[in-house]
Amino acid sequence: MYPYPEEDELVSFFEVEPKIINRAVGLDCSILIFHKTFGEEDIYCEIDFVYGRIRFTWKRQSKPEVSLELRDIQSLELRTDKDIQALIAKFSQEGQLLDFELRLKPQIRVKLGDDVLP
């Protein structure tokens, strides 16, 4: 998966330090796990740079709202538009999937292609 945001940019987006698996071999060979609670909402996001995979779970009041495992991610980027920041995953062109978008502020929003989840 390339390109992708720097670790400090991802920390700023999630507002929490990640658990890092395989840090000694460099970020591009690592797995970053972000876990953040916003009041009654809980976000878990695991980014696997080696296999181009994201596992994402959003719970509200301990009940699952969205749970996804995204594969064949080609690139990952952070976009800022005014006060809105979004993490965008783009898939390989072979899969013909539209972008995955995650916003955490001002409210949590998950979008896959044209569909807003849930």
Question: Dihedral angle at the C-alpha atoms of 5, 102, 98, 56, nearest 10 degrees?
Answer: 90
pLDDT digits (tens, 9 = 90+) for 60-77: 999 999 999 999 999 999
What are the structural domain ranges in the chain? Answer: 7-117
Verdict on whether the full-model pTM lies above 0.85: yes
DSSP letter assigned to residue 106: S
Res. 1: pLDDT tops 70: no
Q: What is the DSSP string of 26-94?
A: -GGG-EEEEEEEETTEEEEEEEETTTTEEEEEEEETTEEEEEEEE--EEEEEEEEETTEEEEEEEE-TT
DSSP letter assigned to residue 6: -
What average pLDDT score do residues 35-62 get? Answer: 95
Average pLDDT value for the chain = 91
What average pLDDT score do residues 19-40 get? Answer: 88
Q: Report whether the peptide linkage leading into residue 64 is cis, meaning its omega lies within 30 degrees of zero.
A: no
